[in-house]
A and B are shown apart, each in its own frame.
Chain A
Amino acid sequence: MAEVFKKEGYVDPRPPVLGPGHNFRSISEKIGDIVLMRGFQKGWVFGFAIVFLGALMLFNTIGYLVLKGVGIWGNSIPVAWAFDIINFVWWIGIGHAGTLISAILLLLRQSWRNSINRFAEAMTLFAVACAGLFPALHTGRPWVDYWLFPYPNTMGMWPNFRSPLMWDVFAVSTYATVSLLFWFMGLIPDFAGLRDSAKNKVQRSIYGLLAMGWRGDARHWQRYETAYLLLAGLSTPLVLSVHTIVSYDFSVGIIPGWHATIFPPYFVAGAIYAGFAMVLTLAIPVRKFYHLEDFITIRHIRNMCKVMLATGLIVGYGYLMELFMSWYSANTYEMFMMKNRIFGPYGYMYWLLILCNVLVPQLLWIKKFRDKLGVVFLVSMFINVGMWLERFVIIVMSLNRDFLPASWRMYKPTVFDFTMFFGTIGFFLTCMFLFIRFVPMIPIFEMKTLLPESKVDEHKVEEHISGTSVGANPLPQFGD
């Protein structure tokens, strides 16, 4: 709402956050019709069929995994943590941009975020669901995963609360729950809008059920706004704590390359970096396919590019500090780890990482490239890959050559590592396809507040009051 503070006559040189020519009704219709229309578009069905195959691949892999055990993966001592934890951290990181956009940008009063927050929050939820699968299955006996939670049991035991892995259980489950509450709460008024403009009885009942009787009462809105703002305020430290705790999984250990104080900020920045890249990867095609250029404008794309550039530089600084610290520590193992990381048998992964995460994103310094959707899409794909490589570099390379050369061993992923990983991408996209089709992907009521006519104009209120006969003195017949 920066507009309020502007001087009169000032023209904003930036592109608008909402295309011209919209009113309350057109916003409701344009966004609502994607959900309420009859039948399915061919493009949607085709895309859904492909990504659903990916989801099926995931379900099959999980089935086989439960049947045979984690031995079907390539994990083997000394590399006991591999694709499972790489993918876990990758997905969790992707999820963080959703919370950042919906919570932190809300607190900072960045109203341009209104059109992308719902989308990004959905991405958070699905990414966290994918992330949670990996550690849950990596336990080896997923049917007793409830042992992770503290509950009174016949064994008379409690979890070890001093372990970062236990903190992780609490952090990720809290994060998933709070993200779901935040997302659903944002949806309640929009479900009410869909209920009211539903085209048939089925839609009316389903959206009516989800709206829970929301009727836009002014008192309800006040409590709603307060609760929403407080949830945003709670999510902000939460999202930072989650990735900090994820980084503790590594940095509390004494493995060279993991035991570093820079991990929490460096992981959080990396998470935001990866998340914004994923938002752009998804938003650019969706915007084009559903003709949402009026709502997700070039200003959004530019702003997201700038956030990526900034967090990308923090991540680059992290890489630099890792190099410096391994030299400055004067520790043989630390120094060897870094030499192995850059020139060892997996050295090419490190150089690819530098290419994807440090070199290519520098293109975004150039304004012309920030406006070219093709370039932005390509850069965000590089970052998606780069962030996965980063976790590979950190996890596998620190483990495969540890303290004793006798126990060194190369890590090779099996086909099931890949079907599992690509399967989660399929599952994630399946969820996104369903979300786009059945839930308004842009918050309708929040978009309305971006319209100039949505503001209450005190001059007009005065005019109305003096223009009506009851204005000056209340009607006598109502007096005592």
Chain B
Amino acid sequence: MTTQEETGIYGLMAEFDTPSSAVAAARQTYDAGYRRINAYSPYPIEELAEAIGFHKNMVPLTVFICGILGAIGGISLQIWTSAIDYPLNVGGRPLISLPSFIPITFECTVLLASFGAFLGMLIMNGLPKPYHPVFNVPTFDRASIDRFFVCVKADDPKFNEDETRAFLTRLGAREVSHVEK
């Protein structure tokens, strides 16, 4: 960590032309023992995330928990308001008329689960993020258009600017850029 702060470097960014070459490079970087790797692509590439060792995706669990909370919240709101706080006799039906409560319970489940998916994705991804060092790379604006990037971060224990640069160049990168913090 201290070296990173001293040098003011975030990492080294290697640029690739095709998804296949980026995936190959990411796999080799991971196999070489680097662990703090990032990869960037203009559209989702499942192989790329796997190559850099990303397997733990907590979004589904978040959505599930939020959905359960929505269901419990929806049904208890209805039971408490219509049977306890403000008992309302509608046509002699029971106060807790479960079949009538299902539609709103369902809607609350979907609503909270959707917020879980959207906000969970954003928060786990650390967004919104107004500033990020990778944007300092001049060619990085093509990461959203037609280029693929593999970045080895400076806080990786194996990181050594010269050696890592040589390594990334040997992987067939078009260009290896220094990422300023």
Please give the residue numbers on chain A whose beta carbons come within 8 Å of chain B beta carbons, in ascending order: 23-25, 28, 150, 156-164, 166-167, 170-171, 174, 177-178, 181-182, 184-185, 189, 192-193, 195-197, 212-227, 230-231, 234-235, 237-238, 241, 245, 248, 445-446, 448-449, 453-457, 460-462, 464-465, 467-471, 474-475, 477-479
Contact = CB atoms under 8 A, between A and B. Distances in A.
Given A241-B103, A464-B25, A227 B146 contact: no
Interface string B98-117: 00110110111011011101
Given A170-B104, A217-B38, A181 B115 contact: yes
B31 to A, nearest CB: 6
A213 B128 contact: yes
21 contacts: A24-B145, A161-B104, A163-B90, A164-B103, A167-B104, A170-B107, A193-B42, A197-B144, A216-B143, A220-B125, A221-B41, A221-B43, A224-B121, A225-B46, A446-B43, A456-B23, A457-B20, A461-B27, A464-B172, A468-B170, A478-B163
Contacts of B163: 475, 477-478
Most chain A CB within 10 A, of B21, B78, B115, B117, is at: B117
A216 B40 CA distance: 5
Contact of B146 (A23, A164, A212, A230): A23
Given A230-B63, A445-B44, A468-B24, 15 more contacts: A24-B145, A25-B146, A158-B85, A164-B103, A170-B107, A174-B107, A181-B114, A215-B132, A216-B41, A217-B38, A219-B54, A221-B43, A222-B44, A234-B113, A445-B144
Greatest chain B CB density within 10 A among A160, A230, A445 is at A230
A449 B125 contact: no
Contacts of B140: 215
A230 B60 contact: yes
Among B47, B63, B103, max chain A CB count under 10 A is at B103
B45 A474 contact: no
Given A162-B82, A226-B59, A461-B20, A197 B145 contact: yes
A177 B118 CA distance: 11
Interface string B77-100: 110011001101010010001001
Contact of B170 (A23, A150, A193, A470): A470
Interface of B: 18-21, 23-28, 31-33, 38-49, 52, 54, 57, 59-60, 63, 77-78, 81-82, 85-86, 88, 90, 93, 97, 100-101, 103-104, 106-108, 110-111, 113-115, 117-118, 120-122, 124-125, 127-132, 134-135, 140-146, 158, 163, 167, 170-172
Nearest to B31: A474
Contact of B82 (A24, A158, A241, A449): A158
A219 to B, nearest CB: 5
A231 B44 CA distance: 17
A416 B125 CA distance: 50
Contacts of B129: 212-213
A189 B122 CA distance: 12
Contacts of A150: 77, 81
Closest 8 CB pairs of A and B: A464-B24, A213-B129, A212-B128, A24-B146, A158-B81, A227-B121, A460-B20, A196-B141
A213 B118 CA distance: 15
A461 B19 CA distance: 9
A125 to B, nearest CB: 14
Contact of B43 (A241, A448, A467, A479): A448
Given A150-B81, A220-B125, A162 B103 contact: no
A193 B145 CA distance: 6
Contacts of B132: 213, 215
A171 B103 contact: yes
B60 A226 contact: yes
Nearest to B63: A230
A224 B44 contact: yes
A76 to B, nearest CB: 27
A340 B54 CA distance: 66
Contacts of A166: 104
Contacts of B90: 160, 162-163
A25 B28 CA distance: 28
B25 to A, nearest CB: 7
A456 B106 CA distance: 40
Contacts of A223: 57, 59, 120-121, 124-125
Contacts of A217: 38-40, 125
B33 A478 contact: yes
Contacts of B111: 174, 177-178
Contact of A464 (B21, B33, B85): B21
A161 B32 contact: no
B114 A177 contact: yes
Contacts of B18: 453, 460
Given A465-B28, A477-B163, A171 B42 contact: no
B54 A471 contact: no
Contact of A218 (B39, B86, B128): B39
Contact of A456 (B45, B97, B158): B45
Nearest to B168: A470
A163 B158 CA distance: 65
A448 B143 CA distance: 13
B42 A470 contact: no
Contact of B33 (A164, A238, A462, A474): A474
Given A174-B110, A219-B54, A219-B125, A162 B100 contact: yes
B42 A24 contact: yes
Contacts of B48: 218, 221, 456
A170 B104 CA distance: 6
A475 B32 contact: yes
